[in-house]
Structure 1
């Protein structure tokens, strides 16, 4: 039972990220541990999906997670 952190520990942890559909480039960079310039480059090359919110362009985390799930499904079906 002691293996799982309490809600208080999760709230205080810097690694805890609430499930959100999109986030700023800066926040996404800090969550994944890469410099903002690398994230901007990945966005410019089309590797990361974005969504426009007003005048801001945010990383579309929901679509990215969906693509990752689809890729793992394709890999598991390929093994059959």
Structure 2
């Protein structure tokens, strides 16, 4: 897949570039995996999920939350280091 951002994580307006990643945290009874989606223009977290497992179910929940908030005319470039 082509690297459209080329490490340029700046945006002059919201909903142009979105970044996400899953991070593992050790917690008292196991692990937790937060997955935020950050709008690089507004610097806001526009969708998020926390799971006990970093699986596709988590990604589907994250995408569903993002779809609810995404403006109709938006066509953002997504970025993730996962994969």
Q: Is the helix fraction higher in 1 or 2? A: 1
Q: TM-score, normalised by structure 1?
A: 0.27
Q: Who wins on radius of gyration, i.e. which is larger? A: 1
Q: TM-score, normalised by structure 2?
A: 0.27
